[in-house]
Amino acid sequence: MQTGPREIVTPFRPIPLDVPEGMKPNEFFNSTENLNDLVHNNGLLINPENLLLYRKALGHSNEFDTSIIYNTSRTILDPLGRPVRRTQVPVEVRRVWNRMNQIIIQYMLERYPDPGQHLLLAGEASLDATWPLTSPGVPSIRMLHNHFIVFPMATLRDAELADSKNPNLTDGGQHSLFQAYMRDVYRKFFDRALDLTLLSPAASSDSRIELTGYPQGLPSWEIRGGVESLKEVQFWREYDAILQGFLDFYRSFFSQVSTRNAPMLQDLYFPQQVEDVLLNDNDFLATAKRVRDRCITDAKYANSIRWQPAFKQLIYRNDEGKLIVTISQNSIGNAITELLGVVVKRVPDADAYAQTEPALIERLVEVRQRLVEADLGQGIATEHWAAQ
């Protein structure tokens, strides 16, 4: 069977939301009013930390697809002031969020134990204010949320090959800015900055899904001990450290793009490694010059730059059943599934969605019950399911 990214078709039930006149859809989706609809029509569980588990109405997969959002829509009315990544979340909220992640991932692995039958992933993407609200690809909800998704491998094997030139698939491959010009220094910086015990560097052959050939060219780490390690506080510290290292690299690079020979940023997580590795590396600084020079002469290119950190961080199961962590710049705004070579084409088809909905809801309610039993929230009732 030919290796390559797959494009699958996922039906959904059209959402009966009326966008107020004069507003663009992505502006309305970011509003408190829309978040209320998310709670009442698709909400599964809420807790005092404002972490909301919900059914993805416009989902990636109708096998299993749910998200947790840090719903600060009522406490922070400025959409550009809301937390958009783990490092901005209060410690006590992050502690609860980590436990929710661990329980949901464990449920997915128990429900879908065979990597040959199902591809599963859990991850998050930054939703920060890096583009104007009206730009293409801007997130519809500017609050931190993550995804838990399962794809049947049979669906992927039967799917059409996706266009390898699709810009959404170039984020971690040969067209990627980081990978094309700074691959060696990128990895050297991670090696120097991170002190890991439960995560160990994974070779490309171990991290790549054979069917799709993705991820491509990204640093990856195997989780030693598998799902049991997700119960350890140390794992989540190391998971955060990977994000912190990425943020230092990204911010340091674009500070040099913005201003030649810019001083080192003051609020870095790994300042010594930034100074020793990045600010003395010819490839790093030459690439910054390349981008800077183009920004000066190419207005369209300059407008496409995401000057603030944009990322996708992922936990997924490889072909051998090992859990892998990877991280990628989100320079284009592609979906988190495309990091693994899965392109999702959503189509409105209420009848087709209705055929899968009962089984999907059954699984979502099952995992919700585990969270309730662990004192991680209380159920929400909607027209589709009861509170318990």
Run of H or E including 327:
strand 323-329
Report DSSP letters for 286-306, one per residue.
HHHHHHHHHHHH-HHHHHH--
Residue 99 lies in a domain: yes
List own/partner pairs for 356-362 with CB under 8 A and 24 or more apart: 356/11, 356/62, 356/63, 357/13, 357/62, 357/384, 360/55, 360/62, 360/63, 360/64, 360/65, 361/55, 361/385
Percent of the chain with pLDDT over 90: 65
386 part of a folded domain: no
Residue 388 lies in a domain: no
E strand or H helix at 346, and its extent?
A: strand 342-348
Q: 200 lies in a domain?
A: yes
Confidence of residue 221 (pLDDT cuts 50, 70, 90): very high
| Domain presence at residue 1 | no
The domain total for the chain is 1
What does the mean pLDDT of the chain come to?
89
**pLDDT value of residue 10:** 96
pLDDT digits (tens, 9 = 90+) for 243-277: 999 999 999 999 999 999 999 999 999 999 999 99
The answer as to whether 271 is a domain residue is yes
Is the C-alpha dihedral spanning 350, 353, 359, 364 positive or negative?
negative
Is residue 30 included in any domain, yes or no?
yes
Containing structural domain, residue 333: 6-379
Peptide bond into 215 cis (omega under 30): yes
Q: What is the pTM of this model?
A: 0.93
Q: Determine contact, residues 150/162, Cβ cutoff 8 Å.
A: no
Q: 265-276: buried (b, 16+ CB within 10 Å) or exposed (e) per residue?
A: eeebbbeebbee
pLDDT tens readout for residues 146-185: 999 999 999 999 999 998 777 667 554 445 677 778 889 9
For residue 365, tell me if it sits in a domain. Answer: yes
pLDDT (tens digit per residue) in 327-358: 987 654 467 898 899 999 999 999 999 999 99
